[in-house]
A = this chain, B = another copy of it.
């Protein structure tokens, strides 16, 4: 696997490496014929400039890195497709890594990408990530970093989000309007901003409608299907069923749904369900799940455009937080039976 280098081409053509280089970098100071001839033979020999060497020299690589917590759920993959769309068009390669919701892996990934001299990074923090000192240092040294969804207040970077508070509020209000009284919230880890915001939306919707939020009605659950299953099983075992549950995300809602179905309980009827961060899954399951949809594709595109802008206007940088609009897709899982 010998890579053909600029020297090989130079030797073959009996000219100097700089001439070859010029041919590829399309400067004016080269005769058109020479250029064409060089390009032709280079192509024939299968030569192309080695980007690593170029990166080493130029201290930038035309590559950007993306680190996401997972891609079991379709959410992050869909965001990444949006990212790639933008960068592909602009001549960048996108390197993707996943932290598997681990802080250690996340940091390793970030450092690996840094070492590959990516020109910038797009990052969504892992569940475990509390300490953002390293990222703070990167940012303070001017490294272009854009965060989305799983962001941190401590970092002064571009951010792309949806208004978790607002949409959690609407989702809860929707359940209230349907006439449900005893509404529980399956929440995510308190350390995550979006998790906290969604919880606050839940609480404030109750407040607006002068409803109490009981002590036991907010249950820290987690983010995966298994977490939803576990908590639902507990509730059934304790015979402490709510009318309705607003879950921090779709997987926990789906976990709850599966346990409810297995126990012969009706959705809605016995328990209504609303999720968050809709993926195509929500429409496929039975009953179809009411859920807040995030514009995954758009999140990716927006983050990419912000990073691109930062890359190209190196000097001026004012951290910007873009809040994209979500949407509450009402489906069967949260209907009031007496109405339908």
In the complex, the chain B residue whose C-beta lies closest to that of A88 is B105
- Distance, CA A219 to CA B79, complexed state (A): 33
Task: Scan residues 167-223 of chain A and give those whose CB is less than 8 A from a CB of chain B.
Answer: none
Task: Scan residues 35-75 of chain A and give those whose CB is less than 8 A from a CB of chain B.
Answer: 46, 48, 50-53, 55-56, 59, 71-72, 74
- B2, B52, B78: the one contacting A55 at CB < 8 Å is B52
A152 on interface, CB distance cutoff 8 Å:
no
A26 on interface, CB distance cutoff 8 Å:
no
Binds B, one of A7-15, A94-102, A323-331: A94-102
B254 close to A284 (CB less than 8 A): yes
Q: Give chain B residues whose Cβ lies under 8 Å from the Cβ of A111.
A: 48
A72 close to B72 (CB less than 8 A): no
- B46, B51, B74, B285: the one contacting A286 at CB < 8 Å is B285
B115 close to A50 (CB less than 8 A): yes
B1 close to A141 (CB less than 8 A): yes
Q: Smallest Cβ distance from A339 to chain B, in angstroms?
A: 22
A77 close to B71 (CB less than 8 A): yes
A281 on interface, CB distance cutoff 8 Å:
yes
A78 close to B74 (CB less than 8 A): no
- Distance, CA A46 to CA B114, complexed state (A): 13
A149 on interface, CB distance cutoff 8 Å:
no
Q: Give the secondary structure class of A's interface.
A: mixed
A19 on interface, CB distance cutoff 8 Å:
no
In the complex, the chain B residue whose C-beta lies closest to that of A55 is B52
* Residue interface bits A95-123, CB-to-B below 8 A is 1, else 0: 11110100001000001100111000000
Q: Smallest Cβ distance from A106 to chain B, in angstroms?
A: 13
In the complex, the chain B residue whose C-beta lies closest to that of A288 is B286
- B46, B52, B88, B258: the one contacting A116 at CB < 8 Å is B52
Q: Give chain B residues whose Cβ lies under 8 Å from the Cβ of A46.
A: 137
Known A-B contacts A52-B56, A77-B77; A95 and B95 likewise in contact (beta carbons under 8 Å): yes
- Distance, CA A287 to CA B287, complexed state (A): 11
Known A-B contacts A281-B284, A284-B281; A116 and B51 likewise in contact (beta carbons under 8 Å): yes
- Distance, CA A251 to CA B57, complexed state (A): 47
- Distance, CA A55 to CA B1, complexed state (A): 14
* Residue interface bits A221-242, CB-to-B below 8 A is 1, else 0: 0000100000000000000000
- Distance, CA A160 to CA B94, complexed state (A): 26
In the complex, the chain B residue whose C-beta lies closest to that of A53 is B56
- Distance, CA A74 to CA B84, complexed state (A): 19
Q: Give chain B residues whose Cβ lies under 8 Å from the Cβ of A225.
A: 280
B100 close to A97 (CB less than 8 A): no
B93 close to A96 (CB less than 8 A): no
A165 on interface, CB distance cutoff 8 Å:
no
Q: Can you report 7 residue pairs joining A to B where beta carbons are below 8 Å apart?
A: A51-B115, A52-B116, A56-B56, A72-B77, A84-B98, A96-B97, A286-B286
Residues of A with Cβ closer than 8 Å to B?
1-3, 46, 48, 50-53, 55-56, 59, 71-72, 74, 77-78, 80-81, 84, 88, 93-98, 100, 105, 111-112, 115-117, 137-138, 141-143, 225, 254, 258, 280-281, 284-287
A-B residue pairs, 5 tightest by C-beta: A286-B286, A71-B77, A96-B96, A51-B115, A1-B143
